[in-house]
Amino acid sequence: MKKIKYIAVILTIILICGVIFLSTTRFLLDRLYSDDVKTQRWAVDSLIERGEGVAPSVLALAEDTDEDLEIRRLAIYVLGEVHSEKTVSNLIKLLETAPEELRPQAVYALRKIKDPLALEALIRAYRTGSKFVKVKALMAMGEMDEEKIIPILKEAGKSNDKLIREIAETALEAKNDSW
C-alpha cells in the first residue's frame, strides 16, 4: 500500500511539473514555430493570457531580424493584445524600420495599446506607408482622443481612395458624436 501511495505522489509531482513546463513562456514561444495552426493559435492565446509579463521575451522575438516574418508578426500581435506600454517605443521603431509585411501588425499593436506617444509615428505611417499601413494607421488614429488628428482625418476624407475616405469619414463622425 505504501508503494502505491509513493508512486501516486511521484506521478502527481511529474504531472505538476509537466503542467508548469507547458505553461512557461519559453515553451509557448517554441510552439509558435509549429506547422499546426491550432498549436500556434493556442500558444498565442496562452501568451496573451499570461499578460504583460511575457512582453520582454515576446519583444525579443519580434525584434529579431533573423527570425521568420510570420513568427515576428505573431509576436507583435501578442504585444498589442497584452497592452504592454513598455514596448511602445520598440513598436514605433518596428513600424518605421521593419519589413513592410510587419508594419501593419505594428500599427495594430500600437492601436491596441492606445498610447499617445505613438501618435507621431502613426501620422508618419499614414503619410508614407503602403495603402494597408495607411488604412490601419487611420483606424488607430480615429480611436485616439487627440485633436491633432482632426486635420489628418479631414484630409483623408477627401482622398480619391474610397476605403481611406470611408474610414476617415467614419472616424470623424465618431469624433463629432463624442465631442
pLDDT of residue 2: 73
CA distance 154 to 165: 9
Domain ranges of the chain: 2-178
Distance CA 131, CA 100 (A): 11
In this predicted model, what pLDDT tens digit does every residue of 92-110 receive, in sequence order?
999 999 999 999 999 999 9
3-state secondary structure of 161: coil
Please, what sign has the CA dihedral across residues 70, 71, 76, 77?
A: positive
Confidence at residue 146, expressed as pLDDT on a 0 to 100 scale: 84
What is the per-residue pLDDT for 11? Answer: 59
pLDDT band for 158, please (50, 70, 90 cuts).
Answer: very high
Q: What is the pLDDT of residues 120-130, one digit of tens each?
A: 999 999 999 99
What confidence score (pLDDT) does residue 24 get?
A: 87
Q: Which residues are CB-neighbours of 51 under 8 A, at least 6 positions away?
A: 82
- CA 104 to chain CA centroid, Å, is 10
How high is the mean pLDDT of the chain? 89
Q: Per residue in 19-67, pLDDT tens? A: 554 558 999 999 999 999 999 999 999 999 999 999 999 999 999 999 9
Rounded to whole angstroms, how far apart are CA atoms 24 and 54?
A: 10
Model confidence pTM above 0.85: no
Assign domain 2-178 to a CATH class: mainly alpha
Helix (H, G, I), strand (E, B) or coil at 45: helix
* Nine cell digits for residue 167: 474610414
- For every residue of 111-126, DSSP letters joined together read HHHT-GGGHHHHHHHH
- Report the SS3 class of residue 36: coil
